[in-house]
Amino acid sequence: MSAPPRPHTERAAAPPRRRQWRPRAGTLRYIGGRLLSSAVSLLAVMVTGFFLFRILPGDPVLAMTRGRAVTVEQLAQLRREFGLDQPLPQQFLDYCLGVLRLDMGMSYQYRAPVSELIGARLWPTVLLVGTATVLAAILGLWLGTRAAWRRGSATDRLNTGLALTLWSVPTFWLGLLLIAALATGIGPMPGLFPPGGMMTPGTTGTLAVAVDVAHHMVLPVTTMVAVVYAQYLMIMRSSLLDELGGDYLVTARAKGLRNDLVLRRHAVPNALLPTVTLIFLNLGQVVAGTILVETVFSWPGLGTLFYEALKVPDLPLVQGLFIVFSASVIVMNLFADLVYPVLDPRVRP
């Protein structure tokens, strides 16, 4: 990622007017290029998926049935079922056509289409990740701004230290600790939150369900926010520190603006731009966090599905989830690339 050029002139505080931004040949070329490179990445994910799960394990059927008593006939039956009796190029072609039609084969464990299983578990994950990312971004950006503005102060040291510590803590351990402390309860304190799952069975009524789901979400979301916000804090802090040397801030102060206004209207908007891209670029780690958090809290989403598929190992399902996770990160990056020029006039093509 190339950093945007450092501003040496004062940028207008008001958001750029939309009218100025009309699609031009350059813009269209930029969008086309981004779309093309994302398509190439997606293609590469597809090829990697095939390589990882069909070629690397040697015989996928043997890998899946490892440790189980299966007859030779059953193995042959399974090979036929997964199309492994075909020659490799034919397998590859079938696989590619299947993925393009969103058909990723049958799950070995559930005996159901992989895409159906993924579709059923998608929304809980989106709910969890969305809530956690928004909260982490708000918290991280706010604390990062404060840390940079008062750099070297006790607040800064406390925030940076806490962020580094949380960054060093493994996600799953934090989740386990939260369960032990707040769901099981310590000593006289009863468990405040449910230790896992998404809702209590038998809850009815929209409001009751919403409250119940929110209650179940508290611990998983807290875990994810704690792990993710630290990164946003550090990025925002260093990004704002880069801006603080800018001449335009001296100009702003010379004009007689209050310190608070200089920060809010001049420094932060400029520092926010690289941070926003980095937030999108770091979504890969959020995806990784989901797998762990969902596993620990038995949240019925894609992460838990991944964990369950790994234990078997249910290779078609693992493959499907691998493609979905990777593709979602690529799509998010594409989104960041497309939104960035809208936010930042300096990098408009």
Partner 1 sequence: MSQSERAPCSPASQGRAAPPRAMAWRRRRTAWLRFWREYRRNRAGVVGLAGLMLFVLLALAAPLLVDPAQLSLTGAPGTPYQPPSARFPLGTDNFGRSLLDLVIWGSRVSLTVGFLATLVSVTLGSLVGILAGHFRGWTATVLMRITDWFLVLPTLVLAIALAAVLSRSTLTVIVAIGVTAWPTTARLVRAQTLAVEARPYIERAKALGGGHGHIMLRHVLPNVMPLVLAQTTLLVANSIITESTLAFLGLGDPTTVSWGAILQDAREAGAISAGVWWYLIPPGLAIALVALTFTLCGRALEGVLNPKLRERR
The phi and psi torsions of 299 (rounded to 5 degrees) equal: -75, 125
Instruction: For residue 331, state whether it binds partner 1 (rule: CB under 8 A).
Output: no
Structure-token match 């119940």, residue found: 212
Q: Which of 4, 7, 57, 83 binds partner 1 (CB under 8 A)?
A: 57
Question: Whose CA is closest to 317, among 114, 119, 122?
Answer: 114
Instruction: For residue 179, state whether it binds partner 1 (rule: CB under 8 A).
Output: yes
Nearer to partner 1, 82 or 306 (CB): 306
Question: Whose CA is closest to 347, among 12, 44, 2, 52?
Answer: 2
For the stretch 293-302, what's the b/e string if a residue is b when 16 or more beta carbons lie within 10 angstroms of its beta carbon?
bbbbbbbbbb
Instruction: For residue 295, state whether it binds partner 1 (rule: CB under 8 A).
Output: yes
Instruction: For residue 165, state whether it binds partner 1 (rule: CB under 8 A).
Output: yes
Residue 152 CA, chain-centre distance (Å), reads 31
Piece in contact with partner 1 (CB under 8 A), picked from 138-146, 205-213, 259-267, 287-295: 287-295
Angle 233-238-240 from CA coordinates, rounded to 5°: 95
Q: Which of 307, 308, 335, 338 binds partner 1 (CB under 8 A)?
A: 307
- Measured from the CB of residue 28, what is the shortest distance to partner 1 in angstroms? 23
- Measured from the CB of residue 17, what is the shortest distance to partner 1 in angstroms? 33
- Measure the CA–CA gap between 1 and 281, rounded to whole angstroms: 9
Q: Which of 31, 310, 338, 343 binds partner 1 (CB under 8 A)?
A: 310
Please say whether the beta carbons of 143 and 159 come within 8 A. Answer: yes
Instruction: For residue 153, state whether it binds partner 1 (rule: CB under 8 A).
Output: no
Q: Which of 223, 333, 336, 340 binds partner 1 (CB under 8 A)?
A: 333
Nearer to partner 1, 116 or 156 (CB): 156
Instruction: For residue 136, state whether it binds partner 1 (rule: CB under 8 A).
Output: no
Instruction: For residue 184, state whether it binds partner 1 (rule: CB under 8 A).
Output: yes
Q: Which two tokens stand for residue 114?
A: 């992989």
Binders of partner 1 among residues 221 to 260 (CB under 8 A) are 241
- Measured from the CB of residue 122, what is the shortest distance to partner 1 in angstroms? 16
Q: Which two tokens stand for residue 43?
A: 């293609």
